[in-house]
Amino acid sequence: MNIEIKSIRKSYGSKQVLRDINLSVTSGKCIGILGSNGCGKSTLLSILAGVQSADGGEFLYDGRDLFKYEKQRALLVGYVPQGTPLIEELTAKDNLSLWYSREEMQKELDSGILKMLGISDFLTTRVSKMSGGMKKRLAIGCAIAKRPPILILDEPMAALDIACKQSISEYVKRHKQEGGIVLISTHDVIEMELCDEQYIIKNGVLNRFDYTGNLDELVKSL
């Protein structure tokens, strides 16, 4: 399995946010997308997830352009945006019920992904009463219900505590081990260490960046 992002462009009025985005990713890899605020990271990920449209370019999965096959993209791509797209009035269990059958949910809560994310601990809690970490873990649980091979995460660990970050890290590692692909928009050191490669969006173009752990060097490159 591999994906290719080719010549993706996006403008808002006269402002060109993405000029020419190109990237190739193979199975079992996690790619970090870095950049300053407003550089276009979230725009790129939302385009790949199908939330908004590109002005041009291709998103190829094993040679097929997913921009032209919406139903296939919905099965192949799991997306967790910065916000949490959950129904606030419902409990965690009720939100999960929109994505899982009763049998699937119980299996995952007993010994699968939902157990790894610790969702059993707040299964009957309403979303409106949840902490940010709970909401993020639940959003991930919903996004991966159909086990999509491509996982797109927009700053998934932002403002989370260490325990929540650990849960998400373990899932990302497992997803990679199972041959999945992960794209992460991040400013977080823990997330960067999960990534096999890092890229920076600057002036609308995506360029490779070899992160060595030197934050000063990273800041100067943004």
CB 217 within 8 A of CB 185: no
Q: Flag whether 153 is in a domain.
A: yes
Q: Give the range of the structural domain holding residue 157, as residue numbers without chain letter.
A: 2-84+147-221
Residue 189's CATH number: 3.40.50.300
Who's near 58: CB < 8 A, 6+ residues apart?
4, 5, 6, 7, 8, 65, 67
pLDDT of the residue at 38: 87
For the sheet with 150-154, list strands across it: 64-65, 56-61, 2-12, 15-26, 205-209, 197-202, 30-34, 181-185, 150-154, 77-80
Residues 57-81 pLDDT 10s: 999 999 999 999 999 999 999 999 9
In 77-213, which ranges are continuous DSSP H helix?
92-97, 102-111, 113-116, 132-143, 162-177, 189-194
Asked whether residue 126 is domain-assigned, the answer is no
For residue 94, is it within any domain?
A: no
pTM score, whole prediction: 0.89
Q: How many helices (DSSP H) and strands (DSSP E) are in the chain? A: 9, 10
Query: Do the domain assignments include residue 201?
Result: yes
CA atoms of 89 and 191, how far apart (whole Å): 31
Looking at residue 161, what is its pLDDT? 79
The residue ranges of the chain whose pLDDT is under 70 are 159, 215-216, 219-220
When divided into structural domains, the chain yields a total of 1
C-alpha span between 92 and 140 (Å, rounded):
12
Please report whether residue 106 resides in a domain: no
Report the alpha-carbon distance of residue 90 to residue 126 in Å, rounded. 5
